[in-house]
Amino acid sequence: MKVKITTICFMAGISLIPIRGFTADSTIDHPDPMTIVKDSDIANKIKTRLNADKHLGKFKSIKVDMDNNGVVWLSGTAHLLSEEEKAVEIARGTEGVVIVKSNIQIKNGHPIHE
């Protein structure tokens, strides 16, 4: 009787090992929801500052993307190099931004890469 109970407990324990392993790794693949919200807030702050800037106000074709490591990508078009530089400056000056990468195209079609 003791052998039968021991065998049942052993088999039940072994069957739970894959479940335990799966739950331990499940948080690695998915970012923390609070991080996503924070990054979204930072990107929105940058967009707001870009739209409010009097030098960039009429050029609202700059897109802002951000990952969960604080890296910001700017893309879109600007009429002058100084406008692209101003957009990068605004993004860099935003709290929470670590790196700014610019893929903004100057209106004549030449990309400016940082």
- Non-local (6+) Cβ contacts of 113 within 8 A are 101, 102, 103
Residues 67-109: tens digit of each pLDDT: 888 899 999 988 888 888 999 999 999 999 999 999 999 886 5
Query: The domain spanning residue 42 has which CATH number?
Result: 3.30.1340.30
For residue 97, tell me if it sits in a domain.
Answer: yes
- To the nearest 10°, report the CA torsion of 98, 104, 44, 68: -40
Whole-angstrom distance, CA of residue 92 vs CA of residue 79? 20
- Phi (first) and psi of residue 108, to 5 degrees: -80, 0
For residue 112, tell me if it sits in a domain.
Answer: no
For residue 43, tell me if it sits in a domain.
Answer: yes
Whole-angstrom distance, CA of residue 111 vs CA of residue 73? 14
For residue 3, tell me if it sits in a domain.
Answer: no
For residue 26, tell me if it sits in a domain.
Answer: no
For residue 22, tell me if it sits in a domain.
Answer: no
Residues 4-39: tens digit of each pLDDT: 777 776 676 666 665 554 554 445 555 555 555 576
For residue 13, tell me if it sits in a domain.
Answer: no
For residue 51, tell me if it sits in a domain.
Answer: yes
| Number of domains the chain is built from | 1
Residue ranges making up the domain that contains 39: 33-106
Q: What is the pTM of this model?
A: 0.61
